[in-house]
Amino acid sequence: MDTLIIYATKHGCAKKCADLLADGLAPDVTVLNIKDKAARNPEFDRFQNVIIGGSIHAGQLQKSVKGFIRDHASVLKQKKLGLYLCHMEEGDSARKQFEENFPEDLRAHASAEGLFGGAFDFEKMNVLEKAIVKKVSGMDKSVSRIDDEAVRTFIARFNG
């Protein structure tokens, strides 16, 4: 069954997770950055499965992902659906971000949900972003906390 993975990323974490998912779900997986023209109005008829992901910045999922979900909600409810989020929060805070950023009806419809951890990539941040991350998190160096086990669990649930 063909799978479409659509993601939005600012510094690359959500892309890395999309690629990990694609590797685990292969073959017949198409991965599109939401910025790509083909991702805005994908040929949904080609895909039985759709996975949507993005990352949290200042508590919010990218507007482009929220807009995509809003614009295609009726079609998404007809597909086998997966939702994932990249974040630096843990535990209940991470779950709360997920629930606040993905609509309840789509969460209920989803076959798999993923909280994949996140990363701060200082090499890809501008000066303001670095200052904000340092102030909020206390970190001043790049760090990756992608949860490979959470990705594997998502793949198992989605395939199940």
Distance of CA 66 to the CA centre of its chain: 11
What are the extents of the domains in the chain? Answer: 3-119+147-159
Burial 143-152 (b: 16+ CB within 10 A, else e): eeeebeebbe
pTM of the prediction? 0.86
> How many whole angstroms separate alpha carbon 16 and alpha carbon 96?
23
The pLDDT tens digits for 64-109 are 999 999 999 999 999 999 999 998 878 898 899 999 999 999 999 9
The pLDDT tens digits for 14-66 are 999 999 999 999 899 999 999 888 788 899 999 999 999 999 877 789 999 99
- Retrieve residue 62's tokens: 């990218």
Q: Which CATH number fits domain 3-119+147-159: 3.40.50.360, 3.40.50.720, 3.20.20.140, 3.40.50.200?
A: 3.40.50.360
